[in-house]
Each structure stands twice: as structure tokens, then as C-alpha cells.
Structure 1
């Protein structure tokens, strides 16, 4: 039995689809129902130790921990600590009670903050926001769990970069949608690179990690090669078979000031806006990470280009079948 916390979400649903294909039994634990796997779903919040403990069935082989608080605009901010850090403590306690000896924790490259290009798994932990900070603190919690049974427990910490794919309505989708509809405004010169990961590849890597050996291992997950913003815009145009149009550009300092204006407006009105200083800064930053995934023997199901093309075709070229969509950063 594989337990997947947060399995009703974007990555969790895709991962569980792979488990079905592999014939592996699983149980989803989430605070919201799974639209895709209602019969394999148990309602529980990682903040509730008793409910979490009761939800993990006897004979559980491994826990894949995906549940997290991750948006940039979470309120109250204490939710980051309550879900990401205390939730990790609660899960470790429940895992010990159930005798689980393998945990796969999806952390994030946000632990590194605004890191230098091609930062690998040995990079310094310097988060710039509460999400990255609490993910890093949760890693410590899981390491302590492993050290309480070092001869038998396996811990895999996976730090993915930004994840995209079909049915996701996060930042990458919003960007692709703006380009596809001719409403895109490039902040900066577009020469900055972005590491990305296609959801099917991430799900496949998590499945690969189920065979983790005793000990602790940390792996960034990135689909290579990285693309610059200019290259990404060009790929969208070519995939959608459209002539490249004139891309409007805005200097970074102007974009940052606009983001600051929206931050002030949000502070006054209490409303949330899609533009902020941190989002402008993240958009214009080069976020390139190195990954040891390939060295571990893992081969992704498809390339980054193919993943983008599949996503673009599904979202903008095909008639989509009914089904869930997932809203995330």
C-alpha cells in the first residue's frame, strides 16, 4: 500500500494514475476529495494528528508526502508553519505508529532562494519566502525521522522546480495563456532562463523513488535543457502554428514599480492581485538548477519540449474532455 498525502491535487492525481497503471494499491489522504479517485480517498488534514494516524492503513509500504501550503499570498501566514512544518511532524509520528519505513518528501528548489545558476543538491539553503523556509524546515523534520531508525528507514527528498502540465492553472499556464492569446508583456529582456518540470516526468520520478534504499538522498527534479523566456515564447508560437508577433517589453524597474503599486493596493483593500513585487522578481530572475536525477538511472517519459507541446495542444488546440482542473502557483 502506498499512501499519498495531498494526492487529490495536481501532481498527486498524476502520480496515482501511474500507480494504477503499475498495479500498485494506494490510498489518498487529503483535506479535499479526490475527483479522480473517490474510492481511494480518505479525508484527513495533516494538521490533525489523530485523523492522520487513523488514515494510514496497516501494511503501508511507503508514504509520498505532497500536501503543502505553497501559494505566495497565503493568509494567515502561520499556515505555512502549521501545514508544512507541524504537518511534517504529525506525519512522521503517524508513520512511526504504522511502522512505515519509506518516505518520499516533495520539497522544493525554493529552499535555495534566488540561487546562482545551475545550483545542485549541495547548494546553500537560503529561502527568500515562508514557503521555501518551511519546506527546508520540514526536510529537517524528515531527516530526524530517518535518524530514529537509520538501519531500516529510507528517506528521499525531492526538490522539484516549477511544475506544469495539462489541467494545471498555475503560473506556467497563466504565462502560456497570455502568450497564446497575444496578451503577453515581457518584463525585462527575456534572456533569463527558467528551469521547469513536466508533471508526467515528476510523477514518473516519484514512482521511481519508491525503490529507494535505506538512508537519505536529496535530488532536485528539473527537465533539461532549460529554456530562456524568449525561447519559450518562440516555442508557444511554433506549437500553435502562429506567426511570431511583436512582443511588448517593459523594463524591469518599471515592472517592479507596478508590482509595488499593486502590493500597496492589496494592503489597503485586503484584496489579492495577480501582480506583486515578488512575482515580478521571480519572473525576471534566472532560475536554473542542476539535477542528479539522471545520474540515479532515471529516464523521463518525455522531453521538456514534448511536455510543453502536449500541454499547449491539450489546453489551446484540442476540445478538452470534462475533468478536474487544479489551481496552484
Structure 2
């Protein structure tokens, strides 16, 4: 089986290639608009916006794993979300069809459900609140429409919750970095629960689907249970880092006001900052998701959630 990752030079893709190699699956190609520092010899420079080049590069592949996406909170211009995430999906499908490839594994997101939802499962309504979530949902709709006329294809969609792990530089890493620096301040009451996913488990599940789920149209939420509330997550992280956690909580309204201030500062300085109103809103929101479809399958995560947290903290912050 020749496996081609599109957008595999980043955090999840690098871990996934490593996992495939550990399984002895070495016929792997990575196509990305930026080079891979970890796997340069199996990587090509390409772009989901260039259908002609993509068609050439996918030749001989048996399955495509689509990771490429615009996902940051501050992408500009906004049209990039739709160009890359939606039009990129259309270009990928056209390039696959030209090469007779009938299997795709698409990494979507729980962002399609929106915030503060009541434990949505795979059949729950999509109500995304930002352009990233909207564009991911539109990409899924492209796949759904495609399957109506390509029922012989195998389409697997995975909607992971926020992914953390070694090498991550997203919102979870920023939270841990603030705690490690001793400058962390809790916004809101901290009772909101958070679904999270450790990268070691996510890539193991993606490999599981690659090997085991080779028929039909399938959608999965991916979450590592249990769902910590923010207070518990911060306390556990502080304990592992041996850092005190302030007992004073900043009111939500004040935190949002500060977030808007950072939004304005980012516009004036033209810099991407680690704090914004969107990130404050996401930090304080309830973001829990039902993953019973995965737990009822034969997949077994190799790590517990606490083990994942400890592995990341040991690697990134020298936690003992």
C-alpha cells in the first residue's frame, strides 16, 4: 500500500509518518507546500491549490490522507480558509479520480459543531462559529456529495478535538507555556469541561483506519477520555510542572475585554499574538464531544490522557 499524506510536514503529519514507520509501513509520500524537516527524503513540494501538479504527484498512490488546512485563528485574508480547505478538497478529489485512487482519509475537526454544545456525536447538527469550522464543514459536504456518485470509494472522516503533544505549538502548548512561566491567570470559573486528544493516540487511530476501515463512508469524533474541566487540567499541569496556580480568577467579561485589546494590538502591529478574543472565548467554552463510536470499535488507544500530558510536559518543559 502506497500512502500519500497531503500536508504532512506539520505537527500531526510528522507524528503520523513516524507511526507508520514504526509499523513497518515505509511506502509513504508527503506532499506539502513547505518542506519536512523530519522526513525530507520522502517529501515533495506541492499545494492543494495546484490541481495539475497534485495529479502528477499522486500517481501510484493507494490512499490519500488529507491533512492540509488553514486552521489558525488569525488567518488573513479570510478567503484562504475556503480556498485551501474547500477548493483544496475539490482539487484533491479530482486529482485522485484522475489517478484511479478510491480511498481518502480526511482530518476534519470538532469545530464544525460550534461552542458550548451538549456532547455532540457524529450525527449532531453542524453549527460552526468561525471560518475555520465553516470551511471544514463545507469540505465535508464536498465529500458527502462526491460519495453519492462514487459509492465504490472508501471515505473516512475523523473529527478530532484539540490535539496536543510533543512538537505542538497550538493553544494547548500556549496554555502550558503560561503555566510553566508562572504568569498564568485563570479566566472565568474554570468549571467548563474540555475534550482533548493526545497526538500519539490520534495517529494510532488514523493508522487503524488506514489498515482496517477500507470500505464505505465513515465519520468519527476522536477524543481521549475523561474530559477534564479547566480547573482540573490547569491543576494537573501545575502539579506536573511544580508551578503554583493563582487562586484568583479573572471575570469572563474582563478576560474578553483584554482579548479585544490584544486583537486591536495585533492589527496595529501586524503581528500574530498568542492571546486574542477568540482564544479567550474558546478557553472558557464547554467543548466536550461524544466519542463512543471509537470506543465501541476494536481500536485501543496506546496512551491514557494523563500519560499523554506527562509525555508532552516532559519533552517540552522538562517536567519530572
| Superposition TM-score, scaled by structure 1 size | 0.92
- Report the counterpart of residue 13 of structure 1 in structure 2: 14
Structure 1 residue runs without a partner (length 5+)? 320-329
Say whether the 8 Å CA contact 1:108–1:159 is kept in structure 2.
yes
Q: Which runs of 5+ in 2 are unaligned?
A: none
Q: How does 1:298-309 map to 2 (within 5 A)?
A: 298-309=299-310
Residue 262 in structure 1 maps to residue 228 in structure 2:
no
For the residue of structure 1 that corresponds to 2:296, the secondary structure is helix
Distance in 1, Cα, partners of 2:57 & 2:247: 51
Aligned position for 1:42: 44
Deviations 1:123-150 (A, max 9, x none): 1111111100000000111223323221
| CA separation of 1:148 and 1:316: change in aligned 2, threshold 3 A | same
Shift of residue 67, structure 1, vs aligned partner: 0.5
Match of 1:159 in 2: 159
Residues 266 and 273, structure 1, Cα contact 8 Å, conserved in 2: yes
Alignment of 1:189-268 (within 5 A): 189-210=189-210, 211-240=212-241, 242=242, 244-268=244-268
What does residue 323 of structure 1 align with?
none
1:115: how far off?
4.2
* CA deviation map 1:44-92 (0-9, x unaligned): 000001111111122x221110000001100111111110000000000
Say if 1:282 and 1:243 are closer, same or farther in 2 by CA, change over 3 A.
Answer: closer
**Is the CA contact (8 Å cut-off) linking 1:65 and 1:106 kept in structure 2?**
yes
Alignment partners' CA distance in 2, 1:176 and 1:244: 13
In structure 2, the partner of 1:54 is 56
Q: What is the deviation of 1:306?
A: 0.5
Return the alpha-carbon distance in structure 2 between the equivalents of residues 171 and 140 of structure 1: 27
CA apart distance, 1:316? 1.4
Question: Distance in 2 between the 1:141 and 1:305 partners?
Answer: 36
Q: How many residues align?
A: 316
**Alignment deviations for residues 225-271 of structure 1 (CA, whole Å, 9 cap, x no partner):** 0111111122113323x264434420001111111222233344544
Whether the 8 Å CA contact 1:205–1:298 is kept in 2: the answer is yes
Residue 325 of structure 1 corresponds to which residue in structure 2? none
In 2, the alpha carbon distance for the partners of 1:214 and 1:249 equals 50
Going from structure 1 to structure 2, the CA distance change for 1:81 and 1:269 (only over 3 Å counts) comes to: same
Q: 5 Å matches for 1:27-106? A: 27-58=29-60, 60-106=61-107
The answer to whether the 8 Å contact 1:5/1:65 transfers is yes
Q: Name the residue aligned to 1:281.
A: 281
Residues 184 and 248, structure 1, Cα contact 8 Å, conserved in 2: no
CA deviations 1:271-290 (Å, max 9, x no partner) are 43332221111110010011
* TM-score, with structure 2 as normaliser: 0.95
* Deviation of 1:302 (Å): 0.4
User: Greater CA deviation, 243-252 or 191-200?
Assistant: 243-252
Q: Residue 171 of structure 1 aligns with which residue? A: 171
